[in-house]
Amino acid sequence: MPVNIKAKLISKEQLKPDIFKYSVKADEITSVAKPGQFIEIRVNNDIEPFLRRPISIYNMKKEEGILEFIFQVKGKGTKILSERREGEEIDIVGPLGYGPFKISNYQNIAVIGGGIGVFPLYELSKNAKKENKNVNIYLGFRNKDLVVLEEEFKGVSDKLVITTDDGSYAEKGFAIDFMKKDIEEKKVDCIFACGPLPMLKAVREYAIENNIPCQISLEEKMACGLGVCLGCAVKTTKSSKENPEYWHVCKAGPVFQAKDVEI
C-alpha cells in the first residue's frame, strides 16, 4: 500500500543545468518499494500547482531508508520542485504502480533507455547485478550535454553502450541498433526498456518480431496517479471495437509486458 509521507531532503545535486538528483529520507517507502515503481510528489506546500508530479525511483539505499530520484525541469511543477532546499520536507506518496520490473526468471538481460527514461533503469540494473545476472545496458541521449549517469550505470553492468543521436559523445546513432547487433551475437532472455515513445515502439516491435520477452515502462502523463481520473489509459492488445479494453498506467503499470499493450 502506498503511504503519504513528509520526506526530508537530505541532499540536492545538480547533474546538468536542468537535471537534479534529490536524496530523501523515506524509510516507509524504501522498505517496500521495488525497481520500476514511482512516487508522486507535491512539488510545494502551496495550493498551486495542486496535482502531484510522478517521478521514478532512481535508487534506494534500503539500510539507511534513503530514496533517490532524478528529474528534469520541464514546466511549472518541476521548476518549483527544483527550487526546494536541503533540510526541507517534501510531500511524497509512494511506492506507486503495481507492475514493477520482474527480473527473477531471466539471466541474460538487455536494459535500454533514453532521455529521462534512463532513471528507473538504475535500480533495476543494480538489483539484477546483485543477483549475478548478465546485464548489458544501452542508453541513448540526443547529444553530449544530455548524457548523465555514465559512471553509475557502468558500475551495475557487464557492458554499457552510450549513444548520442548526433555523435557528439560516445557511439553515434540509436541505442536500439547497438542492442540489436549484440543480440544477433548473443541471445538475451529479456529486454527492459524505458524512454521516449518512438524508442519504446521500436523496441517493442523488435522484441515481438524476434519473440524476446520485453518489459516496458510507460511514462504517460498522469493526474491523480491513483486510478481514479482515467488520465493515463493505455489500450491493451486484446482491445477491439466491440470490447474496448484499457489499463491505467498508474495502477496496472507503469511496467507492462510489451506484447500486452498498444503504444
> 36 near 254, Cβ under 8 Å?
yes
* Interface residue with ligand FES, options 181, 230, 244, 245 (CB under 6 A): 230
* Interface residue with ligand FAD, options 30, 59, 71, 156 (CB under 6 A): 71
Q: Does 230 participate in binding ligand FAD (rule CB under 6 A)?
A: no
CA–CA dist 194, 35 (Å, integer): 12
Q: Does 77 participate in binding ligand FES (rule CB under 6 A)?
A: no
CA–CA dist 219, 54 (Å, integer): 9
The C-alpha cell at 252 is 496496472
Q: What are phi and psi of 127, to 5 degrees?
A: -65, -40
The C-alpha cell at 227 is 486510478
89-96 vs 38-42, strand pairing mode: antiparallel
Q: Does 250 participate in binding ligand FES (rule CB under 6 A)?
A: yes
Strand pairing partners for 82? none
Q: Does 225 participate in binding ligand FES (rule CB under 6 A)?
A: yes
Our CB check for ligand FES shows the closer of 29 and 96 to be 96
Q: Does 197 participate in binding ligand FES (rule CB under 6 A)?
A: no
* Interface residue with ligand FAD, options 176, 190, 222, 252 (CB under 6 A): 222
Our CB check for ligand FES shows the closer of 28 and 40 to be 40
55 closest CA partner among 15, 87, 20: 20
* Interface residue with ligand FES, options 147, 222, 252, 255 (CB under 6 A): 222
> Which partner from the list ligand FES, ligand FAD, none does 40 bind, CB cut-off 5 to 8 Å by kind?
none
The C-alpha cell at 182 is 549484440
Our CB check for ligand FAD shows the closer of 24 and 222 to be 222
* Interface residue with ligand FES, options 91, 205, 231, 246 (CB under 6 A): 231
Our CB check for ligand FAD shows the closer of 109 and 222 to be 222
Q: Does 248 participate in binding ligand FES (rule CB under 6 A)?
A: yes
Strand pairing partners for 9? 24
The full DSSP string for 181-198 is HHHHHS--SEEEEES-HH
Helix then strand count (H, E) for the chain reads 7, 16
Point out which residues bind ligand FAD (CB under 6 A).
Answer: 38, 53-56, 69-72, 74-78, 116, 119, 219-222, 254
